[in-house]
């Protein structure tokens, strides 16, 4: 292995030479997913993969795991962290194998924990890891990446049965309050919707800088940097598609109409939409109410996986009149991502002949919960008609309405409806 790689390794793993070195500031607060990640790293033999949108804190979380192992008394020489993002392209493939061999020679018998960040940029990384997983039981791999590690289908096939994926999503409202030590108030809920999902945004002083950070360093990086390196995509086309999807988050998407408006082939739109979903920028939600059809022809809504991206792209500031105009779409996007983070069931919407619709149907093996978003000052009885119709049709006894202020439980036509302010969805 060349000296530059060795120097990089020593630089990124200071605990090898300094017993007092920390992987990261131990005072930094953990994300909710930390305990799950620790359990998988320490107690599972499979490769642990951590994926998600850019700038959500994956590298920080991985280094917190390293720090946890150091403080637990793990031999520092058995812990190896390496980020491939800044390594020259031509060096990445050979370097991965060389780094693993280096660790094997350094610790031939003892169990080693290897943490590889931004590994998706390494050519044939999946084949390299497969070889070592199959032949060296003492190696435990944890990998992380901003884009989906499995955009290339061969990566998934190569590592079938050898890897567990964990998705780190933008911070939830409860995490934002806990990590920043803030009370749950209307002011801080507004702050969260505007910039609370990404750890660094809280530090930027004004709206323009926050907007630039999300648009240029998160969203554009995915479509102008990550995807072109992983797949053949055409920058302006996919950028235009993404802009439409984010600014119209939660609206019905018809592939044929979208392709016509953007002057693209329908198959191209489908492929780009698939790639944007795999890189966690958007998420598709399908109609539960039209019987069995393939994903390609089912009615769908597309949501931005960051409510901050929607707000910072469409609103000019906290005092903007557009807050009132777009509040429904913003809160609906917030609720959808809250349900995604719960990761306990399937999310759909229900629509019948374009006249009856329920925003979300949240289904687990035990329950099916219809959810309507009514973020307004007053909820009229007629606002609940579609929800009650669906409950009657499906013989359901419970439903939920996400509100602006109204809270409590009402029994209407035999249905127990839980009125829940959006700001209590922690």
pLDDT digits (tens, 9 = 90+) for 223-269: 888 888 777 776 789 999 999 999 999 999 999 999 999 999 999 99
Is the pLDDT at 296 greater than 60? The verdict is: no
Is the pLDDT at 305 greater than 60? The verdict is: yes
Per the listing, tokens 């008609």 go with 385
Average pLDDT over residues 270-285: 94
Q: Tokens in use for 159?
A: 């590592």
pLDDT at residue 112, as a whole number: 98
CA-closest candidate to residue 255, choices 271, 268, 266, 242: 266
Percent of the chain with pLDDT over 90: 77
* Ranges of H-type helices in 186-234: 186-195, 207-214, 220-221, 227-230
Residue 36 vs residue 323, higher pLDDT: 36
- The whole-angstrom separation of Cα 404 and Cα 420 is 8
Q: Categorize the per-residue pLDDT at 189 as very low, low, confident or very high, splitting at 50, 70 and 90.
A: very high
Torsion of CA 287, 293, 297, 301, to 10 degrees: 10
Residues 279, 52 contacting (CB under 8 angstroms): no
Element (H, E) at 158: helix 153-158
Quick: pLDDT tens for 344-364: 899 999 998 878 999 999 999
CA-closest candidate to residue 217, choices 334, 56, 328, 344: 56
Is the pLDDT at 92 greater than 70? The verdict is: no
What angle is formed at CA 305 by the lines to CA 164 and CA 279, rounded to 5 degrees? 50
Per DSSP, what are the bridge partners of residue 287?
Answer: 349
Quick: pLDDT tens for 114-164: 999 989 888 889 999 999 999 999 999 999 987 777 776 677 788 989 999
Question: What residues contact 216, with CB distance under 8 A and at least 6 apart?
Answer: none
User: Taking the complete model, does pTM exceed 0.75, yes or no?
Assistant: yes
- The whole-angstrom separation of Cα 97 and Cα 355 is 58
Domains of the chain: 3-167 (3.40.50.300), 173-342 (1.10.10.10), 346-424 (no CATH)
pLDDT at residue 90, as a whole number: 59
pLDDT at residue 94, as a whole number: 80
- Least-confidence region, from 194-198, 294-298, 340-344, 392-396: 294-298
pLDDT at residue 154, as a whole number: 72
Rg (Cα) of the chain, in Å, rounded? 23
């Amino acid at each position: 292995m060349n000296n530059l790689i060795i120097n990089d390794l020593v630089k990124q793993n200071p605990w090898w030479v300094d017993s007092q070195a920390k992987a990261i500031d131990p005072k930094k607060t953990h994300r909710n997913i930390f305990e799950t990640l620790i359990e998988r790293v320490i107690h599972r033999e499979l490769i642990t993969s951590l994926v998600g949108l850019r700038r959500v804190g994956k590298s920080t979380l991985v280094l917190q795991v390293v720090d946890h192992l150091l403080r637990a008394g793990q031999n520092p020489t058995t812990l190896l962290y390496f980020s491939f993002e800044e390594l020259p392209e031509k060096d990445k493939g050979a370097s991965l194998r060389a780094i693993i061999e280096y660790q094997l020679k350094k610790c031939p018998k003892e169990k080693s924990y290897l943490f590889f960040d931004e590994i998706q940029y390494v050519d044939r990384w999946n084949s390299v890891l497969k070889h070592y997983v199959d032949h060296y039981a003492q190696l435990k791999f944890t990998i992380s990446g901003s884009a989906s590690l499995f955009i290339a289908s061969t990566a998934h096939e190569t590592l079938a049965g050898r890897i567990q994926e964990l998705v780190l999503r933008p911070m939830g409202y409860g995490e934002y309050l806990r990590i920043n030590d803030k009370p749950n108030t209307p002011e801080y809920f507004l702050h969260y919707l505007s910039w609370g999902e990404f750890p660094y945004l809280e530090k930027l002083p004004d709206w323009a800088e926050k907007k630039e950070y999300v648009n240029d360093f998160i969203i554009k990086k995915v479509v102008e940097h990550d995807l072109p390196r992983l797949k053949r995509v055409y920058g302006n086309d996919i950028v235009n598609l993404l802009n439409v999807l984010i600014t119209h988050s939660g609206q019905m998407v018809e592939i044929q109409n979208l392709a016509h408006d953007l002057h693209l082939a329908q198959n191209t739109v489908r492929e780009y939409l698939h790639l944007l979903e795999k890189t966690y920028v958007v998420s598709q939600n399908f109609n539960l109410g039209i019987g069995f059809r393939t994903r390609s022809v089912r009615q769908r809504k597309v949501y931005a996986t960051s409510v901050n991206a929607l707000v910072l792209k469409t609103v000019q500031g906290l005092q903007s009149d557009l807050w009132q105009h777009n509040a429904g779409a913003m809160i609906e996007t917030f609720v959808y991502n809250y349900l995604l983070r719960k990761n306990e069931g399937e999310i759909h919407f229900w629509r019948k002949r374009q006249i009856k619709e329920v925003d979300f149907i949240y289904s687990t093996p035990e329950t099916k919960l219809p959810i309507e978003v009514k973020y307004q000052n007053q909820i009229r009885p007629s606002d609940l008609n579609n929800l009650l119709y669906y409950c009657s049709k499906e013989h359901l006894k419970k439903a939920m309405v996400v509100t602006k202020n109204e809270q409590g439980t009402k029994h209407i036509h035999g249905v127990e409806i839980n009125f829940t302010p959006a700001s209590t969805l922690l």
